[in-house]
Each structure stands twice: as structure tokens, then as C-alpha cells.
Amino acid sequence: MALISTLGRNFGLSSVKTPSLSQMAAVRRQRKALVRLDDAALRDMGLTRSDVEQEAKRALWDVPANWRC
């Protein structure tokens, strides 16, 4: 499947870019770090514990839209 999507992107057949393994690893690290923050730090960023739990439950390949071409 990855080969097909790669070929599709290279030939302009796909408009959605699949995140790379390094991007997925970065997302995993960031989400784990976010979960470890205390409530005061989350408040400083304008987040609630519920927001963080919801973000942590997202799929590994579910990356921010601005990472896609």
C-alpha cells in the first residue's frame, strides 16, 4: 500500500500526503509529553485535561492538517 501511495504522489495521482514515520514518531513523543504536563502548564497553553486526553487518543497517523501537502 505504501508503494502505491508513494507512486501516486510522485505522479500526481493522490492529493493527500501520508505522514512519514519520523513525523508519526514526533507526534507520538509530543502527545506523550503533553499528557505528562501538570494542569497549571496546560492552563498556560489554554488547554484542559480533557483536551489533552482527547488528543492522546488520536491515531498515530492522525497528524495536523498543515503537515499534509
Range of the domain at 17: 2-67
* pLDDT at position 65 over 80: no
* pLDDT at position 68 over 70: no
Q: For the chain, what percent of residues have pLDDT higher than 70?
A: 68
Amino acid residing at 62: D
Comparing C-alpha atoms, which of 49, 29, 26 is closest to residue 39? 49
Cβ partners under 8 Å of residue 67, min gap 6: 17, 19, 23
Cβ partners under 8 Å of residue 16, min gap 6: 68
Q: What is the pTM of this model?
A: 0.64
Q: How many residues are listed for the chain in this entry?
A: 69
How many structural domains are present in the chain? 1
Residues 26-46 have pLDDT tens digits of 889 999 999 999 999 999 999
